Amino acid sequence: MINIVRLFAVTFIILLPLYSLARVTGPCVNCHTMHNSQNNLWVADSATPNPALLVADCIGCHTGQNTGVNTMPYVFSTTPPQYGTTGTEADTNTLAGGNFYWVSNVDDRRGHNIYGLAGPDQILTLPPGGDGTFSGQLRCAGTMGCHGDRTVSEQISAVKGSHHYKDHTTWQPGTTIAASYRFLDGIQGLGDTSYEYHPTDLKHNKYYGFDRTAESETPDGTISSQCAQCHKNYHNGASSLTSSGTFATGVWLRHPTDYDMSNAISSDEYQLYNNSSTYGNNIYSVISPVATAETSTTVNTQVFAQANDAVVMCLSCHRAHGSPYAGSMRWNYKAWPAGGYNGCAICHTAKN
Amino acid sequence: MSRDLLVKRSILFFLACLYCFLSSSSLLAGEYIDSAHGSSTAGVFRPVIGDAPPQGFGYSRGNCAHCHEQHASIGGSEPVPTTGGASSYELFANNFDTTQKTIPYTESDNFCFYCHNNPTSAQLVVNNDYSQNFGCAPQGPTTIMSAMNQRSYHNLYDVWNFSKDKFSWFTTYSNPCDACHNPHLAKRNWANAKDPAYSAISKPTDHFALWGTTETMDSSYNTKYEPPYCSSSLLNREPNASIDAATGRANTPDYVDFCITCHTTTNTIFSTSLNRNLTAINWDSNGDKHGLRLMDGSVSTKAPYAPNSSGTDFVLSCLDCHEAHGSQNVMLMRRRANGSDLTSTIATFDTKNWGLICLKCHKDDAAAGVGPSNYWEYVHHLVSDAPYFEQGPCVTCHTRGDGFPIDCQECHTHSGTPTKADTRGAGIGTYRIPF
């Protein structure tokens, strides 16, 4: 009996740090202020208190430079981040979504021009590929944003409380805001606990994807379906993706997403994903990652290892927040082949 | 550590570094960027895509975006040429208009013509015809589209119609040019006309590999293939004035095996242009004498086909006589062959002008010293083993009764199943294969 108690105690002690990593930790004052006043000075970022008694809004909290030690993911840096060639190299300090620095400081093409970080897009008045229903400048969360409850207009209210209930150690089923991948309402996935700071094939986000058979399908919970909320025609819709409407019977009109590459192995082009010499158990690429329909907490370190684990997604090519490259691409596609980098060849192995 | 050991380890370290460098370098180069379209110095370049901002988007030459728009737009709108909605294979325009069954072709009929045309909406690419580029002919048509918009041409609709049912990779949305070319592999053979490693062709049965890089007329036929003369001096050979016969045959892709992928004795290929099925081609030993069939008498050839140390039986390459894309002559006959230009066009099927290309390799009466050019009494009646040595009633063959030459094609044509002609030697039938 004593041994069983000891076993439980040891197990608890081992698991405790993991559990602590899973959600917001530390003193309340790190994030909240009761009166927005300390020594007769503001505590928040202005004299006007923030909702939820927060000391800062989304941008205020998530601005900084990632070091690999910080538990707060920094998505915006005020000085040029280290991105490298693909944002995955050992000397980089950006995360999975990239960084808003470039869209804020260089031009509109290098990321999502979030209100507060960049001015309204001077080129795109509406989201490209959209159905015209979304207009206005993008925000981090809420009805005009990507994160949180997209029926709530005020963005802090849209994510209110969810940070307290986030558990990174479990598969995010998308049932609540807190249980959604990166607070993207309804989106499934498994987030890397360091947000892909120096990702490897063994340590990275696990994106949820679905192998569709028709262009009209709108799968719930996939990471690409999130993008499709604004960029609809790039993901689904009649005559948007294929010449026939049905996958595998026509040819692509636009680059597919939520489509498993194992369906397209008539040539060896995709079989050799990530420079593999053989088909099956190809090593996962953090440069041009793929989503999977498998929903366990085991990170997908290999591709073509099981059914529907090679699902093309928007994030196979793009960074959600921003990158140094046009189109918020993960690599400098525009400069290739004279320079730049051909991340396309991770999948399109014959196009190198 | 001894000095010797230090040296050895330094060498090993250097070799290891060299291996890593070369290995990584090999990963950077690929089939596409080695291709004509993927070259960063000579590859595809749609100005609106490649020009520096604000006129363009600033993409590198050779980038996929010059042809493919992954989202049927770039930067939220459709760059020129604006052709409407999303197109198959994410191309910037319709791949092929299947309603365009005959010439004249226009730019919008075929995606490739947006560049292989002049003037263009995208990138002007100069492509001279085979006669010029490989056969030393003077300037002819300068683009693929203009070559095709001539008297005869490889009918694109027919190619498409045949290929879609024949080759598994070829879809109803495919471009007929792809039947012979893989745009992601094809190299600039015209700029390297003496080097088959720069092949521009892929067999439709092996679309994902180049053809002719090692499969040459030399490797297939060796001295059975005699490259035609190229320059008018008759001092060099095709392709592109190769220095000698050995070099020429080594520089020529095996076009025979390439062309007979489709033009076999078993494939039925309907020609919209001719309104009939194409004649079957049989290049085997039981087929045409221009192929592997042995001679059955003298054929009065000119150099370099005159009897020589290699024997008297030769195999021709299809492109020794035919253009690939189009010609001012019927049946895609070249405008120059074996070192000299045709003196006139072969404008119709029923014309004695067929002889103008025959005489490039066979002795007409002028070459035999017995009469005028493009007259053929010598080979038919005067040579020692003439098929019609015995002078019979002229009107049996010369139905016009005027003694003038018969149009060559009345007796001499390709045939999948050649039959012997009822020729008459010295009192007996000789029954020769006429082609």
- pLDDT, tens only, B168-213: 999 999 999 999 999 999 999 999 999 999 999 999 999 999 999 9
Nearest residue of chain A to residue B50 (CA atoms): A334
Q: Does B71 touch chain A (CB under 8 A)?
A: yes
Q: Does B33 touch chain A (CB under 8 A)?
A: yes
The alpha carbon of residue B71 is apart from the nearest alpha carbon of chain A, in Å, by 5
CB B116 within 8 A of CB B100: no
Taking residues A171-185, what's their average pLDDT?
98
Q: How much of chain A, in percent, has pLDDT values that exceed 90?
A: 86
Residue B199 has a pLDDT of 98
Q: Is the peptide bond before B81 cis (omega within 30 degrees of 0)?
A: yes
* Interface contact A254-B61, CB threshold 8 A: no
Cβ-Cβ contacts under 8 Å, B57 against chain A: 326, 334
Taking residues A93-101, what's their average pLDDT?
98
Instruction: Provide the token pair at B397.
Output: 């063959």
Q: How much of chain B, in percent, has pLDDT values that exceed 90?
A: 76
Residue B399 has a pLDDT of 72
* Interface contact A338-B62, CB threshold 8 A: yes
Separation in Å, CA B115 to CA A334, B186, B199: 21, 15, 19
Residue A3 has a pLDDT of 56
- Cβ-proximal residues to A296 (8 Å cutoff; 6+ apart), any chain: A171
CB A294 within 8 A of CB A309: yes
Instruction: Provide the token pair at A172.
Output: 């995010």
Q: How many angstroms separate the CA atoms of A164 and A111, rounded?
A: 28
B56 pLDDT exceeds 90? yes
* Option in A239, A336, A352 nearest B60 (CB): A336
* Interface contact B62-A337, CB threshold 8 A: yes
ipTM over 0.85: yes
The alpha carbon of residue A286 is apart from the nearest alpha carbon of chain B, in Å, by 17
The alpha carbon of residue B282 is apart from the nearest alpha carbon of chain A, in Å, by 32
Q: Nearest-CA neighbor of A85 among A283, A284, A287?
A: A287
Say which amino acid occupies A74: Y
- Stated as kind and residue range, the H or E segment containing B218 is helix B217-221
**Within a 13 Å sphere around the CA of A175, how many CA atoms are in the beta-carbon half?**
7
Residue B151 has a pLDDT of 98
The alpha carbon of residue A115 is apart from the nearest alpha carbon of chain B, in Å, by 20
Nearest residue of chain B to residue A268 (CA atoms): B208
Residue B391 has a pLDDT of 63
Angle at B277 between CA B276 and CA B282, to 5 degrees: 140
- Cβ-proximal residues to B273 (8 Å cutoff; 6+ apart), any chain: B102, B152, B153, B155, B158
Collapsed DSSP state (helix, strand, coil) of residue A273: helix
Taking residues A104-110, what's their average pLDDT?
96
Residue spans per domain, chain A:
62-352
The predicted-structure confidence for B217-271, as pLDDT tens digits, reads as follows: 999 999 999 999 999 999 999 999 999 999 999 999 999 999 999 999 999 999 9
Residue A248 binned pLDDT confidence (cut-offs 50, 70, 90): confident
B28 pLDDT exceeds 50? no
Question: In A148-281, which ranges are E strands?
Answer: 189-190, 206-207, 259-260
CB B140 within 8 A of CB B326: no
Separation in Å, CA B313 to CA B121, B280, B411: 49, 22, 21
Q: Does A106 touch chain B (CB under 8 A)?
A: no
Residue B76 has a pLDDT of 87
Q: Does B53 touch chain A (CB under 8 A)?
A: no
- Stated as kind and residue range, the H or E segment containing B257 is helix B255-259
Q: Does B61 touch chain A (CB under 8 A)?
A: yes
